[in-house]
């Protein structure tokens, strides 16, 4: 639920906000540094256009990089009306901005002063997630903002908080919190006597910050890695829990208002194929009926009340799962912010007027030719793949920068090496058969245009 009043909305966000919540004093799990992947995540803020009021068209979406003009033109044409403003116009300035979230950049930039001079309307700040400088930005530039304190946001987004919620509500959740490499060695050894287990970074983001440990050798390597960081003064704090055989991932999006009232917005299924993310879909009736039978939504409301009692209000996305034995794990992780699944819900709302469905997905691609997004749109149009209102289905491109950003950063090297990108799309369809055909056609289209699907 987003406020729909006369105030103009200023929309911005940092998609790896967990990195700024966790603090520099915490030790990290082993990871492979990937600068290209980091650039893609930074560029994902362009997806925030879905939160703009389409009817008024006056809301401003501020992104790290300037949004692609052809992409914005297409989105405006199909009914997503908003005004884009980029923090970065030249790649040469990139180095001075690295390592700063969007609220820090806004605090240092005159951009919001410029926007206020250009517009006389009252302005409401609507961030993807509350950051350390969110309140400072609003105070400096006189923006209206309704949100909890940063320390509350940091607390409730911790996986430790999610684990304790399970404990308080008497839900099934076997977990331990380890606060040293020695504790991890001991507790991990206990788990390995019966099964593999997971180590979770308390501020890890989906797909990053979780490690599956299936042998004493793997455990030993991780313990040594963490002990090295301890010697440098880093603090160890991780959750360890048994590895559960899951059947289905899903999430629930809801909104807690200033008075503690909760509105459940949607339930979205997350589907995987061969252990890889395949897409996000509106939950089918069968799943919703199961959740009703198991009292899932009552648990969601109890969780919302606990969040509110602890000082949080605003958007929340709860990650949940169904196990292979039919048991539901209601609270796997709490994301006290807007979410990717909420974006999917916003696209659902847009398509509802046309009585169409969509899946929300992305294609991880690599390429070494020069890509112009306008040309991609033209070719999609000629191939009758591009979604336009009035069509019974098609591909709705949701991002451009996340696909092309590494090409822009490494322009001089194009043709010599491959770069990586991520193309977010909504596959718009009437029925499952059409959906399957569209995905197949789009995959062939990408290959034909020299993209390698990773």
Query: How do strand 357-367 and strand 452-453 relate by DSSP bridges?
Result: antiparallel
pLDDT of residue 175: 86
How many other C-beta atoms are found inside a 10 Å radius of the C-beta of residue 309? 9
Per-residue pLDDT tens digits for 127-157:
999 999 999 999 999 999 999 999 999 999 9
pLDDT value, residue 3:
44
Q: Are 62 and 103 in contact (CB under 8 A)?
A: no
pLDDT in the model for residue 98? 65
- Angle (CA) 200-206-210 rounded to 5° is 25
Give the integer Cα–Cα distance in Å for 331 and 266: 16
Q: Where are the domains of the chain?
A: 8-146, 159-242, 246-340, 354-453
pLDDT of residue 200: 93
What contacts 226, CB < 8 A, 6 or more positions away?
27, 29, 181, 184, 236
pLDDT by 10-residue block (mean), the chain, 454 residues: 68 91 88 89 96 91 96 97 87 60 93 92 94 95 94 94 86 84 96 93 76 95 96 94 91 97 97 77 96 96 97 97 91 94 97 96 93 96 97 97 92 71 98 97 97 93
CA dist 96 and 87 (Å) reads: 12
Query: Where do runs of H (alpha helix) occur along 232-284?
Result: none
Residues 6 or more apart whose CB falls under 8 angstroms from that of 286 comprise none
Is it true that 159-242 and 246-340 share their CATH fold? no
Collapsing DSSP to helix, strand or coil, 66 comes out as coil
pLDDT value of position 207? 54
- Look at residue 247 and give its three-state secondary structure: strand
Burial 61-86 (b: 16+ CB within 10 A, else e): bbbbbbbbebbbebbbeeebbbbbbb
Q: What is the pLDDT of residue 4?
A: 46
Kindly report the backbone phi and psi dihedral angles of residue 47, in degrees, each rounded to the nearest multiple of 5, phi listed first: -65, -15
Handedness of CA 408, 412, 415, 416 (dihedral sign): negative
Whether 217 contacts 192, CB under 8 Å: no
Task: Please report the pLDDT score of residue 1 as a whole number.
Answer: 46
- Per-residue model confidence (pLDDT) at position 172: 64
Fold of the CATH domain 246-340: D-amino Acid Aminotransferase; Chain A, domain 1 (3.30.470)
CA gap 113, 101 in Å, rounded: 19
SS3 assignment, position 442: helix
User: To the nearest whole percent, how much of the chain has pLDDT over 70?
Assistant: 93
Instruction: Report d(CA 294, CA 33) in Å as an integer.
Output: 41
Task: Compute CA distances 392 → 173, 351, 398, whole Å.
Answer: 44, 11, 18
pLDDT for res 91: 54
pLDDT, position 409: 86
pLDDT at 304: 97
Cβ neighbors of 307 (< 8 A, separation 6 or more) are: 156, 256, 313, 316, 334, 336
pLDDT at 97: 61
CATH architecture, domain defined by 159-242: 2-Layer Sandwich (3.30)
Nearest CA among 350, 348, 369 for reference residue 359? 348
Alpha helices in 313-387 (DSSP H): 340-352, 373-382
Structure tokens at 9: 């909305």
Assigned token pair, 295: 């009292």
What is residue 450's predicted lDDT score, i.e. its pLDDT? Answer: 92
pLDDT at 407: 92
Q: Determine which helix (DSSP H) or strand (DSSP E) holds 362, and give its type and residue range.
A: strand 357-367
Q: What is the DSSP string of 182-199?
A: HHHHHHHHHHHTTS-EEE
Exposure string of 257-292, with b = 16+ CB inside 10 Å and e = fewer, is eeeeebeebbbbbbeeeeeeeebbbbbeeebeebbe
Q: How far apart are CA 192 and CA 187, in angstroms?
A: 9
d(CA 234, CA 226): 9
Interatomic CA distance for residues 163 and 168, integer angstroms? 9
Largest alpha-carbon pair distance within the chain?
A: 66
Give the integer Cα–Cα distance in Å for 63 and 96.
Answer: 16
């Amino acid at each position: 639920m987003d406020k729909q009043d006369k105030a103009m909305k200023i929309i911005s966000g940092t998609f790896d906000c967990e990195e700024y919540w966790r603090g520099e004093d915490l030790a990290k799990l082993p990871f492979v540094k990937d600068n290209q992947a980091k650039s893609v995540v930074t560029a994902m803020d362009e997806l925030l256009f879905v939160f703009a009021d389409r009817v008024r068209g006056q809301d401003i979406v501020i992104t790290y990089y300037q949004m692609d003009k052809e992409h914005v033109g297409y989105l405006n044409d199909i009914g997503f009306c908003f005004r884009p403003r980029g923090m970065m116009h030249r790649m040469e300035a990139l180095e001075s901005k690295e390592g700063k979230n969007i609220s820090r950049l806004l605090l240092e930039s005159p951009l919001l002063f410029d926007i206020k001079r250009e517009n006389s309307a009252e302005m409401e700040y609507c961030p993807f997630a509350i950051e350390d400088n969110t309140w400072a930005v609003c105070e400096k530039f006189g923006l209206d903002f309704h949100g909890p304190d940063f320390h509350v946001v940091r607390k409730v987004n911790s996986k430790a908080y999610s684990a304790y919620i399970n404990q308080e509500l008497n839900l099934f959740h076997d977990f331990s919190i380890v606060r040293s490499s020695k504790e991890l060695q001991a507790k991990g050894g206990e788990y390995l006597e019966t099964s593999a287990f997971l180590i979770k970074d308390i501020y890890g983001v989906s797909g990053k910050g979780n490690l599956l440990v299936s042998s004493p050798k793997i455990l030993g390597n991780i313990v040594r890695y963490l002990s090295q960081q301890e010697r440098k003064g880093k603090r160890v704090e991780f959750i360890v829990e048994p590895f559960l055989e899951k059947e289905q991932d899903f999430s629930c999006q809801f909104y807690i208002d200033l008075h503690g009232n909760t509105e459940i917005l949607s339930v979205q299924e997350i589907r995987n194929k061969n252990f890889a993310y395949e897409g996000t879909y509106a939950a089918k009736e069968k799943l919703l009926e199961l959740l009703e039978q198991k009292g899932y939504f009552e648990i969601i409301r109890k969780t919302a009340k606990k969040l509110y009692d602890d000082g949080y209000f605003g958007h929340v996305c709860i990650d949940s799962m169904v196990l292979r034995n039919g048991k539901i794990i209601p609270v796997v992780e709490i994301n006290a912010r807007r979410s990717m699944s909420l974006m999917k819900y916003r696209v659902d709302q847009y398509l509802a007027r046309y009585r169409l469905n969509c899946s929300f997905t992305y294609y991880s691609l690599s390429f070494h030719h020069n890509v112009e997004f306008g040309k991609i749109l033209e070719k999609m149009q000629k191939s009758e793949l591009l979604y336009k209102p009035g069509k019974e289905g098609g591909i709705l491109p949701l991002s451009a920068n996340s696909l092309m950003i590494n090409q822009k950063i490494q322009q001089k090297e194009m043709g010599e090496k491959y770069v990586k990108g991520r193309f977010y799309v909504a596959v718009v369809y009437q029925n499952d058969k059409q959906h399957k055909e569209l995905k197949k056609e789009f995959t062939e289209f990408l290959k034909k245009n020299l993209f390698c699907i990773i």
